[in-house]
Amino acid sequence: MRLVKIITALLLLSIILTGMTACVDNRYSINAVCDEQQGTTKGSGKYKPGESVEITAVAKEGYVFDRWSDNDTSAKKTIIVEKDITYTALFKRLYVISVICDETKGTVTGGGMFTEGTQIQISVTPKNENSLYQWNDGVDELSRTVTVTEDFTYIAEFVDITDFIFEKETGTVKGYLKDVSKVIIPKYIYDIKVNEIADWAFYNKQSLSIIRIPDSVTRIGARALSVTSLITIDIPNSVVKLGDSAFSDNPNLVSINIPSSVTEMGVYMFYGNSSMTTAILPTMITELGRETFSKCSSLTDINIPSAVKKIGDYVFYECSSLSMVTLPEGLESIGYGAFSYCTSLTSITIPSSVNEIRPDSFAGTELQTIYVTKGSYADTWCIKNNFSNRVVYLEP
């Protein structure tokens, strides 16, 4: 009898345990989440193994759905439940790009609503006697690709080209009809790229104090910007050649930076620029031509590029404020009267590479010390020209 009771108790226990097991929840958790500032999701919950479940991502205003964390790009996707899993919906910010201009002067294309990082094309077509000066972010291309990073309005700004004398066949600015204080040369005139500023193009424009040269120009011709009121000139890196006297006789010109792109400079380049205090020369030129800085009476110092082999005749003639000159190793020739009447020049170092010093190279100077290498051509020249008492030998 006791055995029967034990068996009965075990059966009851078995039934209870089976019921408890049946009550265990064997469903899996599916979570669809996102940044709630950017969007919302649907479909999260607990589901049975093998069940088909749909989850959805909805972008809020100003955003667009990009992908789920498993790289699925479908905003609405169906999954088969196999385990606990979380899907994160990722959104991208939408930005508004506007492209505008004065519609009496041109037309524009491009613009709209785009996701961050998208590359889009915008363009402008000028009308009548107008050319693109630049976009409001400083770019001067008629058609361009921009990368979307924020809400932005691109505004095409124009310049009147009525007064330009322009040769379409060569892309050359031949002249300008008016004598005004400011001239903006656009990169394109009649949709043709400006390649050159011709000889004498702005000669004797005595009111001209500001000029903008586009980075499409490769040559500035002889006397092109001579006899003006320019104070400084910004020469773009596209320029490779400067004609004779291109910037001469500009009494107000204080400084100039010739880019390293320039490989050829004509003679009399800065002749008579009496206010010029500094000049940065291009690194690739091999010669300073005749009277490059002649009568630049305010020029105080000059660093001659290392590629220069020859300093021509009268290059620094009457540069009365010039007190410091650095002659490069590798220099071979110093021309006739090259430093004559540089009355503030009291010392100079002549490299051992120099093998020619023409007569009167230092006439009218106040040279007190000439640094040379013992036994060099410069040493011999100093002895022959009665400068031996001013020679200081360089350390070997």
Ordered DSSP codes for 288-304: E-TTTTTT-TT--EEE-
Amino acid at 79: I
Of the candidates 165, 164, 156, 154, the one whose C-alpha atom is nearest the C-alpha of residue 126 is 156
Pairing of strands 85-101, 28-34: parallel
Of the candidates 326, 332, 321, the one whose C-alpha atom is nearest the C-alpha of residue 287 is 332
Per-residue pLDDT at 358: 94
Structural contact between residues 265 and 256, judged by C-beta atoms closer than 8 angstroms: no
Cα 396 from Cα 390, distance rounded (Å): 18
Amino acid at 60: K
Amino acid at 192: I
Q: List CB contacts of 77: < 8 A, sequence separation 6 or more.
A: 54, 55, 56, 68
The dihedral sign for the CA sequence 168, 169, 171, 175: negative
Encode the chain (396 residues) as per-residue pLDDT tens digits. Answer: 565 566 566 556 555 544 444 445 689 999 999 999 999 999 999 999 999 999 999 999 999 999 999 999 999 999 999 999 999 999 999 999 999 999 999 999 999 999 999 999 999 999 999 999 999 999 999 999 999 999 999 999 999 999 999 999 999 999 999 999 999 999 999 999 999 999 999 999 999 999 999 999 999 999 999 999 999 999 999 999 999 999 999 999 999 999 999 999 999 999 999 999 999 999 999 999 999 999 999 999 999 999 999 999 999 999 999 999 999 999 999 999 999 999 999 999 999 999 999 999 999 999 999 999 999 999 999 999 988 899 999 987
Amino acid at 350: I
Structural contact between residues 365 and 340, judged by C-beta atoms closer than 8 angstroms: yes
Chain mean position to CA 286: 26
- Phi/psi of residue 110, nearest 5 degrees: 110, 180
- Hey, which residues does 188 pair with through a beta bridge? 193
Q: List CB contacts of 227: < 8 A, sequence separation 6 or more.
A: 203, 204, 205, 206, 248, 249, 250
Residue bearing tokens 């990009």? 66
Cβ count within 10 A of residue 121 = 10
Q: 306-312 long-range CB contacts below 8 Å, 24 or more apart?
A: 306/330, 307/283, 309/333, 310/286, 310/335, 311/287, 311/335, 311/338, 312/267, 312/287, 312/288, 312/338
Per-residue pLDDT at 6: 60
| 3-class SS letters over 181-206 | CEEECCCEECCEECCEECCCCCCCCC
Per-residue pLDDT at 236: 97
Cα 336 from Cα 294, distance rounded (Å): 13
Q: List CB contacts of 23: < 8 A, sequence separation 6 or more.
A: none
Half-sphere exposure of 146 (CA within 13 A, CB side): 29
Of the candidates 322, 317, 307, 394, the one whose C-alpha atom is nearest the C-alpha of residue 358 is 317
Per-residue pLDDT at 171: 98
Per-residue pLDDT at 58: 97
